[in-house]
Structure 1
């Protein structure tokens, strides 16, 4: 059944405005950075898993698709500096994420992935733009739509698919599944299955960071469906009281499961929800806007305490694999977002307009990405399932004085799929 009330997506705007470099400079950049010259990646990692400084490349100044909107704060400049190599890495990394999620859809339908599975396609600009603005020492914690955040933090495709298929080499040893990816050594403190529960944990990470005085921040991601949770406001209050370096990022894809935001929230202006805490509304389908906003937010949080970022984004799949995603929104709505706001197509246009690479180069990248994903799936399928004895590990801390019922059995009998 379609919505009774028309739903208008904000920021339904054309692609970013481009400030062109002289053609001679861009032609030179294109020759140096031809997609064909990019190194092949045999470990299935993102081309640019962590932010890095430009290395003498000709800069490109790009204006964000729409202005930032601030609440009790002066928004950052719309003009974002980037480089040819960064644009190419954005294109490749978002394409890899998109392909990873589409392949996960097929694996789920083939019953190689079981249980809950929430896909991120359409929202890639948030993961990539955020990562471009921070360092490995900063912390990220998110909800259950976590595959691409894990990949952005430096996780591999093989680890991802192994976890999704319950194999022992998965990022959570095959025991977490889709909702519980984790990579502590890269500052990724996991996906979480309880709606909104990760936000207080993110504030706790920020408390530890303030205590250690290392100049790092935490990003606590949540969706519009979690924005009405009481624990979010409790965490926000104590973060403001203690001036914690935390950025609360609302990934507003406009639907909490099948419920449109206007049906669940009296005021869906989530960046204003902090009242006394400043906020910023960002076009979450514009990777450069996300990068600019997250860089701005990190600098603010280190000096002043919490800030809210509302990322106006959109998911192409349904809420989860059990949701076709077409009973509460029209196909025209989905098609409209794909045509006007798709984050990958926006970057493609920037690359072509600035002559960073050719259309043929970008097609080659897409072919390589497809092969990388296929290879990673093939490798993950060969990884064994966890030993049944793993059912009893990591339940209680050793020496805690509590034992898991049945852990003393000499032989564990279990039937694995």
Structure 2
């Protein structure tokens, strides 16, 4: 099997699975229970929060454990909007956000909020100038992703963070789900107030994640109940999931340092070889994240290629996994200014540190053979 859909989800690391099983077996008590077992479980939760904070170089009270990117994004966006709507009801985002950001913003429009969806250039990058000009007196939130999940474009988060610092009445949220462990991002003193991360994109487990919430930032909670997680995310803590996430975070941070060059080499080779193939058009910019390559084969439905490769045990995808079953055009590719035909035929290869050069070469060979067989359909 050659698995090249790592932006959809990753294969859980054996150590992550082991930690989940051990904690589920030994520390099954409720951390809020006052008996000894509950106390031991609470200590492990506190320790996990401290470890996560250290790995991210933030304060431990800025870590909120969540079920993943969608919850983190919704908690940040709706939490700010509902808590601070008296200050203003204007939100700034981009046209290429993940559905969990894009649709969250759309839902707020039905509640009377006004959202500015900024365009991107052909490389899928938003202009800092456009962000600056979009800020108004009633702007309360800017939400911009770090790495785009479809084409891998990297946004100028550092510059936008410095810009946001000049406007103390607005908040800056970053969807860091695709960047975590591949493209470094500094949180401390960055101008970033909120940042979403997900476990299953870094060889962790589905249903795990973190929302960084800077000290002093107040959110209206989406869940009300027992006031866990700083009263922002009520509900009995998923301790086994928390521990497994922190384990995955530690492992991916190590690999980012040790194997980053290898991943970039795979990415460069793959992109260069795809450009040589007839009918193939690259959609990812040259300086994109090192794990995502998006390309189109105009005239060919993407599901045809996905199923053809899948029969040979090679797995790629189209669009975001959260919208891939909707086989219309890619909103992201279209936003970059490409034609509808190109946007309808977009395919995504997403790598991880476990992929090898041999796998990439086999995939390219299979792709060329499939194109040769499907050529009649395309002409």
TM-score range normalised by the length of the shorter chain: under 0.3
Q: How high is the TM-score relative to the length of structure 2?
A: 0.28
Q: How high is the TM-score relative to the length of structure 1?
A: 0.26
